[in-house]
Amino acid sequence: MQQFAHEKLVRLEAQLLQRELVITDRIAPGITRRGATQLISFACNDYLSLSRHPDVIQASVEATRRLGVGAGASRLVTGNHSLYQRLEAQLAKLKGTEDAIVFGSGYLTNIGAIPALMGRSDLILMDEACHSCLYSGARLARSRIFTFKHNDVGDAAELLRLHRTEYRYCLLLTEGVFSMDGDRAPIAALLKLANEFDVWLMTDDAHGLGVVGDGRGSNVDAGTALPVPLQMGTLSKAVGAYGGYLCTSRAVADLIRNRARSLIYSTALPPGTVAAASKALEIIATDKDLVRKPIERARLFTDKLGLPTAQSSIVPLLLGSSERALKASEHLQQAGYLVVAIRPPTVPVDTARLRCTFSAAHETADVEAFARAAAEALAAV
Ligand SMILES: *Cc1c(COP(=O)(O)O)cnc(C)c1O
């Protein structure tokens, strides 16, 4: 076994694909410490710095004092503390759905909800750029899986014309804001396609909530909330806490409470975490100036670099090879910035990149200086 592991690692290292866990302390909004160096971070998903908001921290501490550090059991046993009810009502209201269910994480939401709805005689269509946990959920469902070209509604339509009638139910999976590309899915067009072919549309809005659509997420298009029937997301990015959710109809939510293994057989979230998420959502729903900031910062950056206008808080700088991406990341680290090189298999081969994320914590001057440093790094590698 040691030899097996060693050989695999040697191969990864040779391809510059070995990863390591680096100790990283987020010591202040937008500021990170690695070893002795303090860096301005453009590599974090805490887009609104709510993980450090005094009211959010206070809510979490109060709930921990009152109800304890851990939930003690699965939600279906005795872990369903009273804070869940408030959080789920807030999510349903924000998304305009009948109901919402909170899971242990975004990952657990996808690997629980998808197999609870889909089975062997069903079809799952997914955007090829979907996150790993959507693929995992689809595989656990044991359905037939097809991927369509990234954001290509025509390709998805073609697959449906060819295959829809061979299967009982069909689910179409996409991300509202793509985690590694920062672009948005054409949700209105996908919803139309879904209705035409009797398909259920599910969006993963991990990077949309709190950032796009006035903070309400990627289902909101020019002020109008599109009726996406299955909207999942996470409480661990802009919300700043931890956990995942699915907003949907009451009947589907009740089915999932009965059938999603990752909900039923995993311990409920700590009360402090649920209280923090609840307070953070309250801020997202009311502080419209705050939720506008990450995108404004990202747009300032794309303007400065002459890139297509940012559609979210995520801007990729494509470098191609892993080597170039790693070098550019090192170059920026020397200049005082933390930006992580994203390599295959997280992204397709030859599309290694720097994934830059912008947050409300960044000042305009920080972004401008970072844009200059990024241009230099790109030119240097
Ligand atoms: C981060 C992420 C998840 C997983 O959410 P966690 O709460 O971190 O488990 C799911 N989907 C996408 C697109 C993500 O970026």
**Residue 160: CA atoms inside 13 Å, Cβ hemisphere, count?**
22
Q: Residue 162, Cβ neighbours under 10 Å: how many?
A: 10
Which of 41, 45, 329, 359 is catalytic? The answer is 45
Q: What is the pLDDT of residue 240?
A: 98
Residue whose CA lies nearest to ligand 1 atom number 3: 106
Q: Give per-residue pLDDT as tens, 221-272.
A: 888 999 999 999 999 999 999 999 999 999 999 999 999 999 999 999 999 9
Catalytic site includes residue 175 = yes
Q: What is the pLDDT of residues 353-370, one digit of tens each?
A: 999 999 999 999 999 999
Looking at this protein, which amino acid is placed at residue 202?
M
Q: What percent of the chain has pLDDT over 70?
A: 100
Domains of the chain and any CATH numbers: 18-47+313-380 (3.90.1150.10), 52-286 (3.40.640.10)
For residue 162, the CA-to-ligand 1 centroid distance in Å is 31
Contact between 208 and 176 under an 8 Å Cβ cutoff? The reply is: yes
Q: Which of 237, 239, 242, 269 to mutate to test the pocket of ligand 1 (most atoms within 8 A of CB)?
A: 237
Give the three-state DSSP class for 323. helix
For residue 350, pLDDT beyond 90? yes
Phi, psi (5° rounding) for residue 215?
90, -15
pLDDT at 149: 98
| Per-residue pLDDT tens over the stretch 166-212 | 999 999 999 999 999 999 999 999 999 999 999 999 999 999 999 99
**Cβ 302 vs Cβ 315: under 8 Å:** yes
Q: Which residues contact 306 (CB under 8 A, 6 or more apart)?
A: none
Q: What are phi and psi of 127, to 5 degrees?
A: -60, 135
Separation of CA 298 and ligand 1 centre (Å) = 20
In angstroms, the CA 113 to CA 96 distance is 19
Q: Report the predicted TM-score, pTM, of the whole model to 2 decimal places.
A: 0.96
Pocket-testing residue among 107, 135, 340, ligand 1, by greatest number of atoms within 8 A of Cβ: 107
